[in-house]
Amino acid sequence: MGIAPVMLDLDGLEITNEEKELLNHPLVGGVIFFSRNYESVEQLSRLVADVRQATKGKSLLICVDHEGGRVQRFRTEFTTLPAIATLAESTNPEEKSYSHGWLMAAEVRAMDIDFSFAPVLDVNFGVSEVIGDRSFNRNPKTISTLATKYIKGMREAGMASTGKHFPGHGAVTEDSHHEIPVDTRSREEIWQEDIIPFADLIKQGLDAVMPAHVIYKEIDDKPAGFSPYWLQTVLRDELNFDGVIFSDDLTMEGASVMGNYAQRAEAAIDAGCDMVLVCNNRAGALEVLNNAKIKHSEESSQRLMRMQGEPFMNRSALLDTTRWAETVDDITALV
């Protein structure tokens, strides 16, 4: 049995009866956690178990944005991870990138959460505050090198990788959470820099991609996540990507140009997304589940199965290892 195409969020620290019903809707195949869903390791463990129990009999992805730096949903009792921009500035940055990727993934997988949406592959041009130190570097080839090591660390801990935000969010000043960013650069400029990390990592088996809610107006009039040109012609055909395509959150302002929530979901799936995220807006999520006419292929459903976490040790076993203790010391020295 494959995985359905819609990912939702939860309101609080416990799953409600209404949410149990929503997670069992035929279109729902994933849950994403935010900071409001975390109070302690014990509470998170219960929540994950309750979500798994509530959806027993169907395959469900559980995930989180847990990059480090500004974007780390679980704080207390988890290692404070530095922003990945610090890795390039460290001694032995490739080794540090591997260790950061492993530590992030190990602590998340030890809670039976399938994956974190990571790593960020955007180029840091120094103009985007929402990207900034979430990017590895200004140099695209440095990003490729460090992200390669980072993903190897993730995989060792049983976690699939997601490169974001295709084809690159780093050259616009606007934050797509609150505005509709427009990138005015030519195709050649984007290919000379932003595309490089994605192309390099795809050759090495990048598992998933999340496109940006950015309009690249010299190339297409739709944001990348709703564009058959970006997702089919470029990503699938030119770059030969055969992994999962996740939409960014459809409730973000950058997605508003595509209509209401149901229309956004339809457009994203029709453009080539395998799964759409509808977060932080329960009314919007209900609109998608009740009204969106989503054509979900068996091929997409099976691709999503690859994002399930590989077997990994539980938290108490992880914290008993020398490797975890030494890696924590190594990585937290960068904070």
- The residues assigned a catalytic role are 177, 248
- Helices (H) and strands (E) in the chain — how many of each? 13, 12
Q: Is 164 labelled a binding residue?
A: yes
**Which CA distances in Å does 166 have to 136, 170, 212?**
15, 10, 5
Neighbours of 203 (CB within 10 A): 13
**Which CA distances in Å does 214 have to 71, 178, 183?**
20, 12, 7
Query: In the chain, which residue ranges form alpha helices assigned H by DSSP?
Result: 17-23, 41-54, 85-88, 93-109, 140-156, 187-192, 195-203, 228, 261-271, 282-291, 298-305, 315-319, 322-332
Contact of 74 with 63, CB cutoff 8 Å: no
Contact of 87 with 95, CB cutoff 8 Å: no
> Which position has the token pair 């990017």?
135
Q: Is 134 labelled a binding residue?
A: yes
Q: Is 73 labelled a binding residue?
A: yes
- CA 55/CA 44 separation, integer angstroms: 17
**CB under 8 Å to 49, separation ≥6 — which residues?**
112
Q: Is 65 labelled a binding residue?
A: yes
For residue 54, give both structure tokens: 């509530």
Q: CA end-to-end span of the chain, whole Å?
A: 43
The binding site for substrate comprises 65, 73, 134, 164-165
